[in-house]
């Protein structure tokens, strides 16, 4: 696995790689410049086509997510699905890492934290067992300290599925909204990475085109 780099260092390495590539491209001849320009142009067309498709998919996911969220609010009520239901101890389950690619641009990678499933409490068996042992001495449970209880509640809220903030039995539309927005986050990172790649390719193509025109003016 690649170690994520801070955004500032990634951009610095991107500029250094672009500067190094520009210095090497200045030593190209007219034929090599033309070949390199053709390669960059073909790459740019492919990246623009892919970027357009990713943007359309992202817009569809956002529209679908808000539609499912509206359906959930209609079935549960506006007050049941609002910011008032947020947990007081929230921690992001999705992290964004940025790294420098070989081409010189910055790429974004989304990393998710898996939510641990909660254990189901079995009440019936414990009650029956407790009834059988009533004749013997009953051990009173030790009171849990306030700090440990608060820490446990804080830990449980961190690993808890955010859907449980709105109830145990939530409608299917709310689950679909969560799944759609999760996929939208992945698409947003891909769109940002493709946009950076397009900008880098355009800058390199314009730089080589200016060098080609300057070289033709000198030879002509």
Count of CA atoms in the C-beta half-sphere (13 A) of 174: 21
Decide: residue 130, CB within 10 A, 0-12 exposed, 13-18 middle, 19+ buried: exposed
DSSP assignment string, 15-26? HHHHHHHHHHHT
Question: What average pLDDT does the structure give for the chain?
Answer: 76
Task: Answer yes or no: is pLDDT of 13 > 50.
Answer: no
Predicted pLDDT at 218: 83
Task: Answer yes or no: is pLDDT of 10 > 60.
Answer: no
Q: Which tokens go with 140?
A: 């009173």
CA distances from 115 to 47, 84, 164, 178, 179 (A): 35, 22, 12, 13, 14
What is the pTM assigned to this prediction?
A: 0.64
The whole-number average pLDDT for the span 133-157 is 51
């Amino acid at each position: 696995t690649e170690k994520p780099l801070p955004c500032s260092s990634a951009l610095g390495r991107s500029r250094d790689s672009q500067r190094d590539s520009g210095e090497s491209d200045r030593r190209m001849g007219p034929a090599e410049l033309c070949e390199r320009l053709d390669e960059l142009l073909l790459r740019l067309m492919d990246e623009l086509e892919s970027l357009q498709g990713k943007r359309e998919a992202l817009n569809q996911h956002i529209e679908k997510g808000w539609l499912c969220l509206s359906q959930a609010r209609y079935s549960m009520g506006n007050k049941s699905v609002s910011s008032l239901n947020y947990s007081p101890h929230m921690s992001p389950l999705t992290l964004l890492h940025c790294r420098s690619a070989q081409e010189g641009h910055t790429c974004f990678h989304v990393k998710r934290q898996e939510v641990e499933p909660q254990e189901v409490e079995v009440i019936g068996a414990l009650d029956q067992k407790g009834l059988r042992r009533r004749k013997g001495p009953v051990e009173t449970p030790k009171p849990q300290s306030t700090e440990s209880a608060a820490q446990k509640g804080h830990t449980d809220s961190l690993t808890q599925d955010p859907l449980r903030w709105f109830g145990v039995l939530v409608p299917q539309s709310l689950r679909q909204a969560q799944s759609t927005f999760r996929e939208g986050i992945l698409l947003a990172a891909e769109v940002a990475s493709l946009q950076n790649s397009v900008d880098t390719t355009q800058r390199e193509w314009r730089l080589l085109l200016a060098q080609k025109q300057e070289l033709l003016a000198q030879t002509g």
